Amino acid sequence: MKETKRDQLIDILANSQNGFISGQELSRNLQISRTAVWKHINELKKDGYQFEAVPKRGYRLLSRPSAVNESTIKWDLQTEWLGQSLVFKDEVDSTQNIAHQLAREGAVNGTTIIANKQLHGRGRLNREWVSHHDDGIWMSMILRPEMAPCHASQMTLFTATSVVDTLAKFANIPVKIKWPNDLFINDKKFCGILTEMQAELDHIEYMVIGIGINVNQESMSFPEEIRQKSTSLAIETQEKWDRRVLIQQLLVDFETTYREFLTQGFSYVKDKWTNNAYKLGEKVLVNMPKKSFEATIEGITDDGALLVRTIDNNIEKIYSAEIHW
């Protein structure tokens, strides 16, 4: 995405080693007049940025607003490529839809779309993902991996492990991964992952990985139909979370896990996944379009399928099913 002068101004001040940058230098770097620099600074102050301005030395950025927006997320974002191209919207139908559109238009690998609110958030199997308010993280990442489409399901699994890694940095909460794409805390869902792709038989053109995390919802903010089975990080930890900081860490951890996945292969992810698997070794109900049966979860295979042991002691590989208990 093209950076605005305002974004560039924030970047320059944020990255300044010496702290202060003179109005003259800013005007030269940005190729705008000194009056325009001064106007931008005043606008930024209104948005909650704080500056120290010293005659003859210039401006120094002291702090940013805690708001979640494109520039606050990008400020100090410690990734190499993921989210460096960032689209932030207050309200969208679904970040997945925007991601598909941008990917078709040629958006670079790592382009990330984040919204405060989604009017029609989508989950797997075209279910609704409730995300009408700015109390969660609703984001979609465009990836252009050089891999065969048959590995795509592994991406969902490794995304889940990277979210687990991120949360472990903030709180000691028992996060479990329910195959294939849900994250649970204390038997309630708080995060879903939606992996979609555009592919030829042997080639992925692009993937869109959507992550939805319930962050600051109170129990009553969930619609009644899902209230009993849904939770948020705030409910589980009894404190409100800073969404900006969480988004930045999610991007860093995803980028790191992705790098390891590309170099070491799926084995890197598999152990982590298994260590955090929900209902591992327990009896569940496997619901498939043509059959339903009871089985015990044994783990996952190298191609991301779920391994279950049936009651007649057979091991079955499940590629697509709903798991209930």
Phi first, then psi: give them for residue 85, nearest 5 degrees: -100, 110
- Contact range with ligand BTN by CB under 6 A, out of 81-89, 118-126, 169-177, 274-282: 118-126
Q: Taking the complex as a whole, how short is the minimal distance between the CB of residue 94 and ligand BTN, in angstroms?
A: 3
Lay out the site mask for ligand BTN across 193-212 (x = CB under 6 A, - = otherwise).
xx---------------xxx
Q: Is 95 in the site for ligand BTN (CB under 6 A)?
A: yes
Stretch that binds ligand BTN, among 66-74, 138-146, 245-253, 271-279 (CB under 6 A): 138-146
Confirm or reject binding of residue 157 to ligand BTN (CB under 6 A).
no
183 touches ligand BTN by CB under 6 A: no
Amino acid in the structure at residue 162: S
Contact 71, 10 (CB under 8 A): yes
Instruction: Name the one residue in this structure whose structure tokens are 């207050």.
Output: 90
Q: Least Å distance between CB 123 and ligand BTN?
A: 3
- Residue among 75, 88, 138, 222 that touches ligand BTN (CB under 6 A): 138
Q: Of 184, 300, 177, which Cα lies nearest the Cα of 233?
A: 184
Q: Report in angstroms the alpha-carbon separations of 151 from 11, 93, 199, 204.
A: 37, 29, 12, 10
CB 124 within 8 A of CB 160: no
> Smallest distance, Å, CB 137 to ligand BTN?
8
Under the binding rule (CB under 6 A), the answer on residue 94 touching ligand BTN is yes
Helical pair 152-170 and 243-264, crossing angle rounded to 10 deg: 130
Q: Least distance to ligand BTN from the beta carbon of 224, Å? A: 19
Residue nearest to ligand BTN (CB): 192
User: How far does Cα 74 stand from its chain's mean position?
Assistant: 14
124 is in an annotated binding site: yes
Cis before 289? omega within 30: no
Binding track over 264-293 against ligand BTN, x by CB under 6 A: ------------------------------
Residue 96 interacts with ligand BTN (CB under 6 A)? yes
d(CA 128, CA 126): 7
Query: Which tokens go with 264?
Result: 């070491």
Q: What number of residues does the chain have?
A: 325
Which residues are near ligand BTN by CB under 6 A? Answer: 94-96, 118, 121-124, 127, 129, 131, 138-140, 181-182, 192-194, 210-212
Binding site per annotation, positions for biotin: 118, 122-124, 189
